[in-house]
Amino acid sequence: MELDKILAISKKPGLYKLVTQSRGGFIAESLLDQKRISVIISSNVSLLSEIAIYTLSEEVPLKTVFYKIYEKENGEQTSTSPKASKDDLEAYFFSVLSDYDEDRVYASDIKKILNWYNLLNLHKLLDFKNEKLGSDEEE
């Protein structure tokens, strides 16, 4: 799975796949509707490969969190809706990442992570067959 080509763009819904670089930024394709957009270099853009989730002891890469969700759900969509209540979202996330830092990871973050996971899973961009993930992962 290549999260280094998947983007979250501030103030834009969903996720985007990096298509190519342009003179003043880059071209990205929406995973929601496959429309291409031009993104200027000064936009607030995050690569999913660079995002980590706070736990009580360390920061866990988003890829590892996706893997834990994938294992829990046997490769299916999440059993808890991203639109669930704050308590349900927190309970679900606790079952996935039991030591996440509840003071720094908000329900809105969990909602976003579940939405992203479901979107990536829908487009078959989550493939962990050749991945070495887990607690013994080296960075």
89 neighbors 107 (Cβ within 8 angstroms): yes
Q: What is the pLDDT of residues 23-76, one digit of tens each?
A: 899 999 999 999 999 999 899 999 999 999 999 999 999 999 999 999 999 999
- Inside any domain, residue 132: no
Three-state DSSP at 54 gives strand
Q: What is the mean pLDDT of residues 98-127?
A: 95
Contacts 24+ apart (CB under 8 A), 127-130: 127/1, 128/1, 128/67, 128/70
- What is the model's pLDDT at position 139? 37
Mean pLDDT, the chain, integer = 91
Greatest alpha-carbon span in the chain = 45
Q: What is the pTM of this model?
A: 0.88
The domain tally of the chain equals 2
Confidence of residue 81 (pLDDT cuts 50, 70, 90): very high
Q: For residue 136, is pLDDT > 90?
A: no
Same domain, 56 and 44: no
Which domain range does residue 84 map to?
51-122
Same domain, 28 and 57: no
Same domain, 41 and 92: no
User: Cα(105)–Cα(17) distance, rounded to whole angstroms?
Assistant: 25
- What is the model's pLDDT at position 133? 52
User: Cα(94)–Cα(9) distance, rounded to whole angstroms?
Assistant: 27
Q: How many beta carbons lie within 10 A of that of residue 139, not counting itself?
A: 6
The CATH number of the domain holding residue 33 is 2.30.30
Same domain, 34 and 63: no
